[in-house]
Structure 1
Amino acid sequence: MAIPRVKILGVPFVKTTLNDFIKHIVTEHAVPSKKATIVTANPEIVMHANEDQSYMDILQQADYVTADGIGIVKAADKLGTPLPERVTGFDLMKGFLAEANEKQLSVYLLGAKEEVIRQAKNQIEETYPNLKIVGYHNGYFDWEKNEIADEIERLKPDFVFVALGFPRQEKWINQNVERFEKGVFMGVGGCFDVWAGTVKRAPVFWQKVHLEWFYRLLNQPSRIGRMMAIPRFMKKINEQKAKERK
């Protein structure tokens, strides 16, 4: 069953809830072994896509783009095309791992530093003992040699989580996905760091009041440059809304 889309500055976001989307991906793709690519996009990613046509093409070619950020949800409301809620990368990964654990599906992890991915792998296996992590590799490899893609092609995992940071993770998936027979492929940014315990996710209170981004900024002040994409994003949304009124 198709999921409706909402376009925000050219990026097609799926109009769905977190739980419904997890069920859709598992029943329509993971269990019947049908490929899917997922991008979790926040305002920074949307702005990058609007400044880099090749990256915009990748987002438009992805099977699903979810609203990873309250800024996307607020923008959809302002444009009169509301989205029901945020569908974040970490929550999606957690939901997919829970489903993989229940259904004994297989997982491949790609990205981050060696010590981080090892710790993340151990924590995931401890939390979800029934899923199968069939392989993993850190984010330092030669793209041209295709050794990682060869391994994934041979192992045929049900889920492949790629933590190379945007836009590299989406580019790697887009560049290699055609060669795979099956698998749900999703870029997960810094999720491995959270699983490894090297980065803490915002407490539930901060998440509920939609200030998770501010909590991350307080803990990682170096992100201030990246955060400047948010006001630029809202400016573009206001400009689009003004054009629609004329």
Structure 2
Amino acid sequence: MKRSPLKFLGIEVDALNIPQLNGLIAKSIQQQKKWIIANHNLHSLYIYHHDSAMRAFYDKADYIHVDGMPLVLIGKMRGYSIEREHRVTYADWVWSLMEQAASKGWRIFYLGSKPGVAQQGADILREKYPGLKIACAHGYIDVDRDSTENQAVINAINAFQPHVLMVGMSMPRQERWIIDNLEHLQTNAILPSGACMDYVAGVVPTPPRWMGRMGLEWSYRLFSEPKRLWKRYLVQPWFVGKLLIQEYRGIQLSPIHRKPTPGTPLLAKQRGRG
């Protein structure tokens, strides 16, 4: 499909629902393309305006779906044709994606989560979708592109020859990893997927889906993990409000020029999920 992105708050997004996203993956496989299918929410919007590496990632992305009701609402306020169904989070999408993968014979590789969690999630998915071809590796590695651990992960991915590579190591770590290793990855669709497998495995409680549809999922996540998420949900949105006011006043939005934060390869300091 031809891309016609919606532009607001200094970013670009595509109004895509789950069937359309599955269709893009099918197209990337049929045409033997390597596409990054990224996503934006309020958290990524904040990082985008503060981190040059994140901006480089989105410049490379082929499609960017919306993962946050606030962006749907802002898009509607700006006059775009974007609806509730265009808010796609992995807690909803993963099931349809895996069903498609099982029926079409797509191979899935998932990189991320704590040791053992991804495998637990993969076992659940195989049981639910017989015939699903899925392999995984945990995300608690030294992500330096030349490290032994990183090279071993890339070799494992390429040996499996996945049609879909899901990278769930939290923002912006997963996006930086994709950009750093993009040219060496042999796959079609590349999906930065946050805590997707943590939800599947049940190690992080999945918010009731009605909360997602109402744009209240953030409150459930904040209540579940206040220590980790308080800044994301209580501080960063104020910056987004500032961007919205500036845009309505016709002020040109410029990213804050700040060097990318160095990676933290030590196991104890890496979250490995969104």
Give the TM-score, by structure 2 length.
0.82
**Equivalent residue, structure 1, for 2:21:** 21
Where does residue 257 of structure 2 map in the other structure? none
Paired residues of 2:165 and 2:187 also in contact (CA < 8 A): no
The whole-number CA distance in structure 2 between the counterparts of 1:20 and 1:140 is 32
What are the within-5 Å matches in structure 2 for residues 164-175 of structure 1? Answer: 164-175=169-180
Task: Give the counterpart of 2:240 among 214, 230, 233.
Answer: 233
State the shift of 1:109 in Å.
Answer: 1.2
- Structure 2 residue 168 is matched with structure 1 residue 155: no
Shift of 1:158: 0.7
The residue that corresponds to 1:8 in the other structure is: 8
CA drift of 1:62 comes to 0.8
1:197 aligned residue (175, 195, 202)? 202
* CA spacing shift, 1:117–1:16, aligned 2, 3 Å: closer
The 3-state SS of whatever aligns with 2:16 is coil
1:69 Cα deviation after fit:
0.3
How many residue pairs end up in the alignment? 242
Computed over aligned residues only, the root mean square deviation of the Cα atoms, in angstroms, reads: 1.7
Give identity over the alignment, percent.
Answer: 26
The letter for the 2-side match of 1:242 is: R
Partners of 1:174 and 1:130 in 2: CA distance = 31
Q: State the shift of 1:83 in Å.
A: 2.2
Could you tell me which residue of structure 2 aligns to residue 224 of structure 1?
Answer: 230
Matched, 1:113 2:114: yes
Residue aligning to 2:259: none
User: 1:31 and 1:102, CA in 2 relative to 1: closer, same or farther beyond 3 A?
Assistant: farther
| Residue identity matched to 2:128 | T
Gaps of 5+ in 1: none
Q: TM-score if structure 1 supplies the norm length?
A: 0.91
Aligned residue in 1 for 2:34: 35
Which residue of the partner structure matches residue 262 of structure 2? none
Q: CA deviation at 1:42?
A: 0.6
Q: Which moved more, 1:158-167 or 1:138-147?
A: 138-147
Separation in structure 2 between the aligned mates of residue 74 and residue 238 of structure 1, nearest angstrom? 15
Aligned partner of 2:48 in structure 1 is 49
Does the aligned pair in 2 maintain the 1:3–1:15 contact within 8 Å? Answer: no
Over residues 1-27 of structure 1, what are the superposed CA-to-partner deviations in whole Å (9 max), with x where a residue is unaligned? 21310123232211222222222322x
The answer to which of 187-196 and 90-99 deviates more is 90-99
